Structures are given as C-alpha cells and as structure tokens.
Amino acid sequence: MAPDISRRRAVKNILGGGAVLGMAPSALLTLHTKTATPMSALKNNIRQSACYWCYQSIPLDDFCAALKKMGLPAVDLLGPKEWDTAKKYGLDVGMCYGGDLGIPKGWNDPQYWDTMLKNYAEALPLAAQYGYKNIICFSGNRKGMDDETGLKNCTEGLKKLMPLAERYKVNVVMELLNSKVNHHDYMCDHTLWGVELCKRIGSDRFKLLYDIYHMQIMEGDVIHTIKDYHPYIAHYHTGGVPGRHELNETQELYYPAIMKAILDTGYQGYVAQEFVPSPKDNAAKLESLAQCVKVCDV
C-alpha cells in the first residue's frame, strides 16, 4: 500500500494462541529462531513477499535478514533510498514506491500530473536499473468526482507515462483500496473500475494491485473475481478481514483456497503479506509472519 499514516500505525493484540502471547520476549525470539520457515521447507509455488510498513518497529536490515531466513524472495513497498538494503540481502522488491504523492493525490486530478510525471521519470529508469518490475500508483480521492470523469482523467494522465514504462519494461500498478473502512473517498475502490481503466489505457505495462483485504470489504467474491480478471492483475496483497490482522481462524477469508485460485491462473508474480501483526513484541511479529507465510504456501 501507500505511505499512508493510518495504515502504518494500526497495531492490535490478537495473535491466536494464548501460550505464545504469554511468553517472555526472549522466549519468543527463541521460538522464532526455531520455527521461522526455512527456504527448504517452503513449496514456493506462491512466491511470497512482505510489506515493510507493517513492521516498521523492526530495523529494515533486521527485517530483510528475517525474510531471507524465512525463505521469502522479496520485500514490498520500499522506496529508492531503501533498495540497496534489499539488494544487500538478495531480496527483490516486489512493489516499489517512487512516483506517487500518497493515496489521496492521484491520477484522477490533472493538477498533480506534472509533478508525478517528473517523479516517475526519475523512478522508472532507476527501478529498471535495479531489476525491479513494479511501481505503485493511485487513482486519488474523488472529491465529488464521478466515476466517468475519474476514468477519463486517469486515462489521459497515465497515457503520458506509459511510453516511459514500456521503454524501461516496468509495470505501473494502481492499487485497489477500500473506501468503506480505511481510505474514505478513494476512487479506485472496485475491480471493475480498475479493469475498465486498464482497457482504456491499453498498455501491457499498466496493471492492478489486487489487495484481497480491501476487495473483500468492498465487493467480496474474491476467488471468482481473480479467475475472471487475472490478466489485469500484476500483484496481490493479503490481510485478514475484519481488522487486517493474521490469516487465521479469527477472520472470514480462507487463504489456502485463494492462493490455489491464484495459482490456477498461471500467475508468476508475488503475493505480499500485508496484515498488521497483532503482537507488539518484534520477535512475535516475525513469528506471526512466518505462520501466515505457511498458510499461503500451498
């Protein structure tokens, strides 16, 4: 997701299993060391990543080292100043920041085009130089704008950017977000709106980030939607509903079935874990991540 303050701050205490919650931090660190999923133990049919904003209490170096130990090939949502750290640990960046102005200020508002075109003109060649394939973008908030005007504005603005994305072979990826709970007034809040935008832009380098958490809140029917519209999807994010916490028995989605549906489409990209871990202790947060990685390792 974007550099959005509310999304980066939510932390609530719910990790399933009272025995784990009752452990001292040192014991949790030992538990993480013993149980963090090694690469050899993962099936890796689904290539998984993890969004750093959910773990910002952990230094990025430590977080990247933990992902490497778990067997994950990538980290998500890092900006250019953080890319060298990911490289140091042999991690790809599955989805990059680089050109956006934050979630509310997006391509549906022409007043931001010049600034964003300049930002992306710098970020796209740099991402290509690092070997990264996806850079995020946003529609922006409605501010009273109707769907059709938003589509026209986004199409006109993004068509100015697509030749550069095509030249550097980097995907510009618009995230689908819910406007009901987390991002009130956001325009690209339904899959069909995003798909229509992809069709109008008409470039293989413009795709959607299908955030499973957000789209479950807005429209449900996740597996059917993935099967029908997977050609327009370049990236996936996870999260438990309700609450955006762990992918466990506390939430309404069954992630193994969703992962199998993604696999059935022939998808070769990343699925990034983007739940907010319930524990406050850093070692327990990493253990929680390792458990959710196993849930999605179908």
**Domains parsed from the chain with CATH numbers:** 42-296 (3.20.20.150)
Give the count of beta carbons closer than 10 Å to the beta carbon of residue 14: 17
Q: Tokens in use for 221?
A: 């029917």
For residue 100, CA distances in Å to 117, 187, 192 come to 9, 15, 22
Sheet with 233-237: strands ordered across: 47-50, 270-273, 233-237, 206-211, 171-175, 134-137
pLDDT in tens, 214-259: 999 999 999 999 999 999 999 999 999 999 999 999 999 999 999 9
Report phi then psi at 175, rounded to 5. Answer: -85, 135
Please, which residues bridge with residue 127 across strands? Answer: none
- Tell whether pTM > 0.75: yes
Mean pLDDT of the chain: 89
pLDDT in tens, 154-205: 999 999 999 999 999 999 999 999 999 999 999 999 999 999 999 999 999 9
Q: Tokens in use for 16?
A: 């399933």
| Cα–Cα distance measured from residue 64 to residue 85, given in angstroms and rounded to the nearest whole number | 8
Looking at residue 41, what is its pLDDT? 85
For residue 295, CA distances in Å to 137, 238, 241 come to 29, 11, 15
Burial of 170 (0-12, 13-18, 19+ CB in 10 A): buried
